[in-house]
C-alpha cells in the first residue's frame, strides 16, 4: 500500500502538451548604448510578456520587438537562440555582449532562413513568403501555354501578356515563372529604368532566388564574366539596348554581348502597346523647353519601339536581334494589345483593380479574423463636381461643350512671376472646394443637403492631409503655388506646397526627395504636391490619399495611371513595438476628385470597357468596376452615388446623331497594321470575305500583300541606312517610293473597311433587336437583312472580327452608344421600338426618367 501511495498520479503520467511552441525573438532598445544592437533570445512563452519581464527590473520602456518567429523547422526540429547567434557570427556579425549582436534585422532573418533550410544563403535572402493565388495562377497559365507551343514546335518562341495592375507583384511573379521554367538567362527590358530597384530587391531578398546573379549598367562589373553555373538576370532599357553608335550605326560596343547570349526568357516591362505614343504627350505636355526636348526624345524612342513591336507582333527577333525561348509582356493598361488582337485569350492573364478588390472582399468573408493579404490595398472613390455656371462660362467648349480644365487653369510665366489668366475665377474655385461660397451654401440648404466638398467636409479633410494636384502645365503649377501662398489665403498656409514640375524639380525620380522631405512620417505634416506629369508613373508615396484632377486627359490609361498613384498602401508594421506580425492600415480608402464630370465619367467608362472586352455589354463592364469604385456626383445642389447606367448617361451627355456618325467613321474602328493584314492574308476564307466588301476589287490585285511587302522593304532600307550611315541616291528614291505606296495603299484599305463599318448602324436601325455590343450584331437572327445591308454574311463578318480586323472594344462602345441614343430618341417621340421594353423599366435606364 505504501508503494502504491508513492506512485505518480494519472495527471502526472499524462501531462498536457504545452500550447506554446518555442519562439525566437529579437528586440532593440532606443538609446545610444544599444545603437545598432539586437538582443537575440528564445522562449516558450508569449514574447511580449517575456521581454517586458526581462526589462522591468531596469525600468526600460523604450524597447521594440523586431522579430517574433517560430523556432521550428519543417521537420519538427527546433532552432535555438545559440544556433541563431552562431549563424550570425558566421555571417560576420559581431557579438557585442552575451546575447546582444551587432547586426540588422535583415541579417537575423537571413540567418534564420539559413538554419531553417539547412543551407547557406548569399546576401540577405531572408524572405520566404509564397506566391498569392493569383500569382501562382499567372505562372501556371503562362507556363502551360509555353509548353503547349513547344510541344507543337520545339523551335517556336511563344509570347504571353500579363495585364496586371500595380501591386500585383509582377517582378516577384516573373522571377517565379523563370524559376519554374528552369531558366538560366533572363533579360528584363523596360521603358522606365526607374523601376530597376524593384527588380533587384525582389531577386536579392527572397530565398527562392538564392544564388541568382543580378546585373545592370547600374551594378557595374563585366557581364561576360558571370558565373555560368548560376542563373543570371540582366536588367536594361530599350533606349540603351536599341541605341546605336554615332556615325557607324553599329550596336553599342557595351551591348554586343547581349546579342550573343541565348536567353531563356525575355521580359518586356511597363509595355503599353502604343500607350506611350498616344498618351506620353499628355504626361509631359507643358514642361519647360529643356525637359520637353528630353521628353520628346524619349517619347520618340518609345514610339519607335512600340510601333516596331506592334507591327512585328510575334516576330520580335526581326526588330530585336536577340534569341530567346519565350517572351513575357507586363503592363497595367495594355488596351491596344487587347484591342488589336496581338494576344489571343489563351495568351493573356488578367489581374485588374476589380479583381484585386473582389479578392479582398472574398478573403475577408472566407477567413474572418485572419490577416488579409489584400487588406492594405485601398478602395478608390471618385467624386465629381459640377462647377457653378459663372465658372463654367469661363472655360467651356470642345466636342461636348464641357468644362475645359486646361483653359480654366491656363497660366503664363515661371517661378514667382507665374500667374493664372483667370486668376479671380481660380480663386473662386479655391473658395468653393473649401466650402467658402455663401450662395452655394444657401442652395445646398434649400435642397436639404450639404455636399461633401474636398477641403471643407470633416469626413474628407483627413484624406486630404497629403494630396496630389494634377495640373495642365508647369506655368499652372507655379501659378497655383503662388496663389496658395498669397496673404489672404490663410487656410492654405497650413499646407506645405511642393512644386514637382519644370526643370527646377529635376528629371524623373529626382522630383521625389523634396516631396518625401515635406511629408516626413506623414503624421504631423500637411502637404500639397503640384505636378503636370512628374511622379505619375513608377512612384510610390504611401501618404498620398487623394488626387485632384485639374487637367484634361484624353486617354483612360493616362487618367488611371495618375489616379492609381494614390492607391499605394500605407501600413505601419508592428505599430506598438511589441508584435512584428501586427499591421495597422492607415489608408483603407483613397479619393479621386474631378471637376469635369462628363469627361471624368467618360474616362471611367472607357477604362472599364477596355479592361473587360468579354463583358455581356458595356454597362456590365462599368457595373463591375463601380462595385469597387463608388462614384459620387455633385450636380450643384445634391451629391448622390450613381450606378452604371447613370455613369453612361452622363458620359454620353451631348451625344448627337452627328457625334454618333463620327464614331462609326473613326479610324479606331479598324486595324490595318501588318500583323492584322498578315492574319487576313494567311486565311483564304478571310481573303474571300474582304474581297466581297463593296469597292474592294477596285483597289487592285494583291493589295494586302503589296502593303506588307512595302513595309518589309522600308524596314530593310532603314536598317541598311543605320548600318551604312547613309543610303545611296537610288536607295533613297526607292525608300521614298516605298513609303509613299505603303501609306497610300494602307489608307485605301482603311477607308474601305470604315465604309463597311458605317453600314452596321443602318442594319441596327432596321432590325427589331436592341444590340448592346458587337457580338449581338453577329448573333442576332436576321442574317438575310445583315447581308442585304452590309454586303457580307454574318459568318464573313464574324471571321473578320475574330481576326481583329475590326476593333471589338471600339465597336462595342459605338454599338452601345447607338442603342442608347436610338431608344432615347424613340421614347421621346412616343414610339416603343421594342415590345416590353417599357415594362422592363429599360427606358428609365436609357433616358434617366424618374
Residue 509 lies in a domain: yes
- Gap between the Cα atoms of 59 and 650, Å rounded: 65
**Average pLDDT of every residue of the chain:** 78
pLDDT category, 813, cuts 50, 70, 90?
low
Residue 206 lies in a domain: yes
Mean pLDDT score, 317-332: 77
Other beta carbons within 10 angstroms of residue 658's beta carbon come to 7
Q: Which residue among 604, 626, 654 closes a domain?
A: 654
My answer on whether 392 and 484 are in the same domain is yes
Domain limits for position 765: 662-670+758-847
pLDDT at residue 281 above 60? no
Residue 784 has a pLDDT of 76
C-alpha 686/C-alpha 183 separation (Å) is: 39
Top-confidence residue, 568 or 307 = 568
* pLDDT surpassing 60 at residue 30: yes
746 within some domain? no
835: pLDDT strictly greater than 60: no
Rounded to the nearest 5 degrees, what angle is found at the Cα of 74, between the Cα atoms of 68 and 75? Answer: 130
Mean pLDDT of 597-601: 87
pLDDT (mean) for 247-251: 60
* Domain count for the chain: 4
β-strands 379-385, 631-634: how paired? Answer: parallel
Mean pLDDT of 782-792: 76
> Are residues 323 and 367 located together in one domain of the fold?
no
Q: Does 389 share its domain with 342?
A: no
190 has pLDDT over 90: no
**What are 494-518's pLDDT values in tens digits?**
999 999 998 888 766 678 889 999 9
Residues 578 and 512 occupy one common structural domain: yes
Which of 331, 351, 371 is where one domain is finished? 351
Q: Is residue 431 part of a domain?
A: yes
Return d(Cα 292, Cα 300) in angstroms, integer: 12
| Res. 466: pLDDT tops 90 | yes
- 730 falls within a domain: no
Query: Is residue 429 located within the same domain as residue 335?
Result: no
Choose from 37-46, 379-388, 482-491, 509-518 the range with maximum mean pLDDT: 482-491
- Residue 227 forms part of a structural domain: yes
Q: What are phi and psi of 567, to 5 degrees?
A: -95, 10
Are 359 and 338 contained in the same domain?
no
**Among the listed ranges 131-135, 397-401, 602-606, 813-817, which one has the minimum average pLDDT value?**
397-401
Higher pLDDT, 525 or 257: 525
Lowest mean pLDDT among 256-260, 434-438, 689-693: 434-438
Q: How confident is the model at residue 186 (pLDDT cuts 50, 70, 90)?
A: very high
The domain that contains 556 carries what CATH number? 3.40.50.300
Assess whether 191 and 208 both reside in one domain: yes
pLDDT at 779: 60
Residues 267 and 221 reside in one and the same domain: yes
pLDDT at 830: 41
Record the pTM: 0.70
What number is the average pLDDT over the span 51-80? 83
Residue 467 CA: distances (Å) to CA of 114, 166, 384, 460, 845: 43, 19, 16, 12, 36
Are 451 and 559 members of one domain?
A: yes
In a domain, 615, yes or no: yes
Q: Are residues 366 and 306 in the same domain?
A: no
Q: How confident is the model at residue 283 (pLDDT cuts 50, 70, 90)?
A: very low
- 623: cell is 457595373
Domain-terminating residue out of 325, 351, 377: 351
Q: Residue 132: pLDDT above 60?
A: yes
More confident residue, 10 or 405: 405
The region of weakest confidence among 580-584, 617-621, 826-830 is 826-830
Specify if 731 maps to a domain.
Answer: no
Query: In whole angstroms, what is the distance from residue 382 CA to residue 559 CA?
Result: 12
Question: Strand ranges (DSSP E) for 44-128?
Answer: 63-70, 94-97, 100-102
- Asked if 631 and 771 sit in the same domain, the reply is no
Please say whether the beta carbons of 265 and 194 come within 8 A. no
Q: Give the pLDDT band (50/70/90) at residue 658.
A: very low
> Which range is least confidently modeled, 102-116, 140-154, 824-838?
824-838
**Domain co-membership, 343 together with 489:** no
3 state SS for 319-386: CCCCEECCEEEEECCCHHHHHHCCCCHHHEEEECHHHHHHHHHHHHHHCCCCCCCCCCCCEEEEEEEC
pLDDT at residue 152 is higher than 60: yes
pLDDT for residue 109 is more than 70? yes
Amino acid at each position: 500500500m505504501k508503494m502504491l501511495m508513492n506512485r505518480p498520479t494519472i495527471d502526472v503520467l499524462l501531462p498536457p502538451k504545452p500550447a506554446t511552441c518555442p519562439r525566437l525573438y529579437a528586440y532593440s532598445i532606443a538609446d545610444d548604448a544599444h545603437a545598432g544592437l539586437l538582443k537575440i533570445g528564445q522562449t516558450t512563452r508569449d514574447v511580449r510578456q517575456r521581454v517586458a519581464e526581462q526589462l522591468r527590473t531596469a525600468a526600460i520602456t523604450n524597447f521594440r520587438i523586431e522579430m517574433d518567429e517560430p523556432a521550428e523547422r519543417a521537420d519538427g526540429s527546433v532552432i535555438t537562440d545559440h544556433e541563431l547567434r552562431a549563424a550570425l557570427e558566421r555571417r560576420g556579425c559581431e557579438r557585442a555582449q552575451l546575447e546582444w549582436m551587432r547586426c540588422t534585422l535583415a541579417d537575423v532573418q537571413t540567418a534564420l532562413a539559413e538554419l531553417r533550410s539547412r543551407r547557406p544563403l548569399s546576401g540577405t535572402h531572408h524572405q520566404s513568403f509564397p506566391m498569392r493565388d493569383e500569382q501562382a495562377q499567372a505562372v501556371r497559365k503562362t507556363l502551360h501555354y509555353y509548353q503547349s507551343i513547344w510541344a507543337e514546335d520545339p523551335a517556336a518562341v511563344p509570347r504571353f501578356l500579363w495585364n496586371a495592375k500595380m501591386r500585383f507583384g509582377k517582378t516577384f511573379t516573373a522571377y517565379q515563372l523563370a524559376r519554374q521554367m528552369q531558366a538560366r538567362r533572363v533579360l528584363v527590358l523596360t521603358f522606365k529604368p526607374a523601376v530597376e530597384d524593384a527588380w533587384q530587391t525582389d531577386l536579392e531578398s527572397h530565398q527562392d532566388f538564392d544564388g541568382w546573379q543580378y546585373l545592370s549598367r547600374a551594378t557595374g562589373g563585366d557581364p561576360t564574366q558571370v558565373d555560368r553555373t548560376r542563373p543570371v538576370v540582366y536588367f536594361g532599357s530599350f533606349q540603351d539596348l536599341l541605341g546605336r553608335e554615332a556615325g557607324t550605326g553599329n550596336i553599342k560596343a557595351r551591348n554586343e554581348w547581349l546579342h550573343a547570349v541565348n536567353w531563356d526568357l525575355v521580359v518586356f516591362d511597363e509595355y503599353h502597346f502604343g500607350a506611350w505614343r498616344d498618351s506620353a504627350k499628355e504626361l509631359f505636355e507643358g514642361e519647360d523647353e529643356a525637359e520637353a526636348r528630353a521628353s520628346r526624345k524619349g517619347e520618340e524612342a518609345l514610339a519607335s519601339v512600340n510601333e516596331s513591336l506592334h507591327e512585328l507582333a510575334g516576330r520580335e527577333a526581326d526588330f530585336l536581334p536577340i534569341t530567346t525561348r519565350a517572351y513575357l509582356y507586363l503592363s497595367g493598361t495594355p488596351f491596344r494589345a487587347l484591342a488589336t488582337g496581338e494576344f489571343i485569350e489563351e495568351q493573356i492573364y488578367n489581374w485588374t483593380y476589380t479583381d484585386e478588390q473582389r479578392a479582398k472582399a472574398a478573403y475577408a468573408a472566407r477567413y474572418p479574423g485572419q490577416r488579409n493579404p489584400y487588406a492594405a490595398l485601398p478602395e478608390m472613390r471618385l467624386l465629381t463636381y459640377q462647377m457653378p455656371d459663372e465658372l463654367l462660362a469661363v472655360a467651356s467648349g470642345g466636342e461636348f461643350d464641357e468644362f475645359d480644365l486646361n483653359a480654366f487653369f491656363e497660366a503664363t510665366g515661371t517661378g514667382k512671376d507665374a500667374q493664372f489668366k483667370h486668376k479671380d475665377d481660380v480663386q473662386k474655385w479655391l473658395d468653393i472646394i473649401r466650402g467658402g461660397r455663401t450662395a452655394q451654401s444657401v442652395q445646398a440648404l434649400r435642397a436639404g443637403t450639404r455636399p461633401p466638398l474636398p477641403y471643407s467636409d470633416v469626413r474628407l479633410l483627413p484624406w486630404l492631409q497629403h494630396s496630389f494636384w494634377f495640373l495642365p502645365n508647369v506655368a499652372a503649377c507655379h501659378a497655383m503655388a503662388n496663389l496658395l501662398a498669397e496673404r489672404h489665403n490663410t487656410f492654405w498656409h497650413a499646407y506645405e506646397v511642393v512644386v514637382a514640375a519644370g526643370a527646377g524639380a529635376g528629371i524623373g525620380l529626382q522630383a521625389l526627395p523634396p516631396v518625401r522631405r515635406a511629408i516626413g512620417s506623414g503624421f504631423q505634416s500637411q502637404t500639397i504636391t503640384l505636378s503636370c506629369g512628374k511622379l505619375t508613373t513608377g512612384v510610390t508615396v504611401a501618404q498620398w490619399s487623394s488626387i485632384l484632377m485639374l487637367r484634361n486627359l484624353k486617354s483612360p490609361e493616362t487618367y488611371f495611371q495618375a489616379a492609381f498613384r494614390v492607391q499605394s498602401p500605407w501600413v505601419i508594421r508592428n505599430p506598438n513595438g511589441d508584435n512584428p506580425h501586427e499591421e495597422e492600415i492607415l489608408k483603407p480608402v483613397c479619393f479621386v476628385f474631378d471637376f469635369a464630370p462628363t469627361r471624368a465619367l467618360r474616362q471611367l467608362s472607357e477604362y472599364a470597357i477596355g479592361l473587360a472586352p468579354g463583358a455581356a455589354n458595356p454597362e456590365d463592364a462599368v457595373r463591375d468596376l463601380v462595385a469597387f469604385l463608388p462614384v459620387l456626383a455633385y450636380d450643384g445642389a445634391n451629391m448622390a452615388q450613381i450606378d452604371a447606367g447613370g455613369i453612361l448617361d452622363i458620359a454620353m451627355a451631348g451625344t448627337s446623331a452627328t457625334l454618333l456618325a463620327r464614331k462609326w467613321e473613326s479610324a479606331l474602328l479598324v486595324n490595318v497594321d501588318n500583323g492584322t493584314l498578315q492574319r487576313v492574308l494567311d486565311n483564304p476564307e478571310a481573303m474571300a470575305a474582304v474581297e466581297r466588301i463593296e469597292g474592294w476589287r477596285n483597289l487592285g490585285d494583291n493589295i494586302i500583300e503589296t502593303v506588307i511587302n512595302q513595309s518589309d522593304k522600308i524596314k530593310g532600307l532603314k536598317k541598311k541606312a543605320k548600318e551604312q550611315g547613309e543610303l545611296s541616291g537610288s536607295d533613297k528614291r526607292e525608300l521614298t517610293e516605298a513609303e509613299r505606296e505603303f501609306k497610300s495603299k494602307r489608307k485605301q484599305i482603311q477607308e474601305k473597311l470604315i465604309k463597311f463599318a458605317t453600314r452596321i448602324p443602318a442594319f441596327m436601325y432596321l432590325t427589331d433587336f436592341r444590340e448592346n455590343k458587337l457580338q449581338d450584331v453577329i448573333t442576332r437572327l436576321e442574317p438575310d437583312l445583315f447581308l442585304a445591308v452590309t454586303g457580307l454574311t454574318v459568318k464573313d463578318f464574324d471571321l473578320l472580327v475574330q481576326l481583329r480586323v475590326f476593333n471589338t472594344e471600339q465597336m462595342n462602345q459605338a454599338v452601345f452608344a447607338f442603342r442608347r441614343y436610338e431608344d432615347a430618341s424613340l421614347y421621346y417621340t412616343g414610339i416603343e421600338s421594342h415590345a416590353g421594353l417599357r415594362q422592363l423599366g429599360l427606358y428609365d435606364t436609357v433616358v434617366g426618367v424618374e
